């Protein structure tokens, strides 16, 4: 138990340090390449912070723990929007660029609906609520094809002008790292996030197993939140430093990476049975994305306010209470 607690604390320290260096390095790299913080958040940062989900889901699937693999992705996507989106908005209201509202967030909604449809296929076929769906290799290939389309569309618009949010531009102008140092910051930050996330998850999982908690519940809660800590730390630190584009890009990009790339690649390696994950979990994941999208359009302001951030956190607290009670 002592070792597990040390893993929790040590992992958290690595995650916080990694997030700080990754944010500074990625912002500096964006300026050097002439692209926005948003674009870096959607690609480089989102890919890096999704590595814990990818590694844990892949290893879990290979080891035969399909519930943990799927629960990790579903739980992480819910945490990314409700927990991380909520906390980030409380730190700094998040301006959302029009391109994100019309392209990236709709892609999150579509990907969530697609995964939910795959998981609910047995129920739609009349097999009842208790039937377990199989996300097979064909499903995985479909998800990966969607991922390729997303990357193609995103990279085609990589070169951007001035960000919509003036504070993001002002924050970016403060970054004056040399190119090689920015790359070192990014590499070191990602290493801290990945190893720190792994330590945190290992410690938390050991404690949970000792308490007799189910594998599916561990995946939806402890592992999901643990593997989302890189996104949490990066988005909150980025928002605090004025890089709101990177913050929203990381949240949205990570959700897309998790479903299309992480789950797609994992299913190709080994088909996944969604036995312990309920239809409610999939529906909450999809509804979270839709709610986040609607919030950005309210009153035409394209900003996630602090009040809306508090609402997202309240929804997450309600969901966590529900799955713990019913787990």
The tens-digit pLDDT sequence of the chain (327 residues) is 788 878 877 877 787 687 678 777 877 877 777 777 788 788 877 877 777 778 777 777 777 777 777 888 898 899 999 999 999 999 988 888 888 888 889 999 999 999 988 887 766 555 555 556 678 889 899 999 999 998 888 877 655 444 544 544 444 444 467 888 988 988 998 888 778 767 876 776 677 677 776 666 776 777 777 777 778 888 888 888 888 888 888 899 999 999 999 999 999 988 887 666 778 889 999 999 999 998 887 755 678 889 999 999 999 999 989 988 886
205 located within any domain? no
Quick check: is 3 in a domain? no
Residue 97 covered by a domain:
yes
In CATH, what number is assigned to the domain containing residue 220?
Answer: 1.20.1420.30
Per-residue 3-state assignment (H helix, E strand, C coil) for the chain: CHHHHHHHHHHHHHHHHHHHHHHHHHHHHHHHHCECHHHHHHHHHHHHHCHHHHHHHHHHHHCCCHHHHHHHHHHHHHHHHHHHHHHHHHHCCEECCHHHHHHHHHHHHHHHHHHHHHHCHHHHCCCCCCCCCEECHHHHHHHHHHHHHHHHHHHHCCECCCCCCHHHHHHHHCCCCCHHHHHHHHHHHHHHHHHHHHHHHHHHHHHHHHCCCCHHHHHHHHHHHHHHHHHHHHHHHHHHCCCHHHHHHHHHHHHHHHHHHHHHHHHHHCCEECCCCCHHHHHHHHHHHHHHHHHHHHHHCCEECHHHHHHHHHHHHHHHHHHHHHC
Asked whether residue 6 is domain-assigned, the answer is no
Q: Is residue 112 part of a domain?
A: yes
Q: Is residue 237 part of a domain?
A: yes
Is residue 193, in this structure, part of any structural domain at all? no
Domain with 158, as residue range(s), is 37-164+215-326
In this structure, is residue 9 part of a structural domain?
A: no
The tally of domains found in the chain comes to 1
């Amino acid at each position: 138990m002592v070792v597990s607690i040390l893993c929790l604390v040590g992992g958290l320290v690595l995650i916080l340090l990694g997030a700080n260096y990754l944010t500074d390095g990625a912002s500096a790299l964006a300026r050097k390449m002439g692209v926005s913080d948003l674009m870096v958040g959607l690609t480089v940062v989102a890919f890096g912070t999704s590595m814990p989900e990818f590694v844990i889901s892949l290893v879990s699937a290979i080891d035969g723990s399909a519930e943990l693999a799927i629960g990790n992705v579903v739980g992480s996507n819910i945490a990314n929007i409700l927990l991380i989106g909520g906390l980030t908005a409380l730190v700094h209201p998040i301006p959302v660029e029009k391109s994100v509202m019309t392209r990236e967030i709709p892609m999150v909604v579509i990907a969530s609906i697609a995964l939910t449809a795959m998981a609910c296929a047995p129920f739609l076929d009349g097999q009842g609520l208790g039937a377990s769906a199989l996300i097979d290799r064909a499903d995985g290939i479909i998800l990966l094809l969607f991922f390729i389309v997303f990357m193609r569309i995103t990279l085609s618009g990589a070169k951007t002008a001035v960000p919509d949010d003036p504070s993001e531009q002002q924050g970016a102008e403060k970054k004056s790292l040399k190119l090689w140092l920015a790359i070192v910051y990014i590499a070191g930050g990602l290493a801290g996030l990945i190893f720190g996330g792994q330590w945190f998850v290992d410690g938390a999982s050991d404690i949970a197993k000792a308490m007799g908690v189910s594998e599916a519940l561990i995946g939806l809660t402890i592992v999901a939140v643990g593997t989302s800590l890189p996104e949490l730390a990066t988005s909150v630190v980025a928002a605090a430093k004025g890089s709101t584009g990177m913050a929203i890009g990381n949240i949205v990009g990570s959700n897309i990476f998790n479903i299309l790339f992480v789950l797609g690649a994992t299913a190709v390696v080994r088909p996944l049975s969604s036995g312990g994950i309920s239809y409610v979990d999939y529906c909450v994941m999809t509804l979270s994305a839709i709610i986040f999208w609607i919030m950005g359009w309210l009153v035409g302001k394209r900003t996630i306010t602090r009040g809306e951030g508090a609402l997202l956190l309240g929804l997450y607290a309600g969901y966590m209470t529900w799955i713990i009670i019913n787990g």
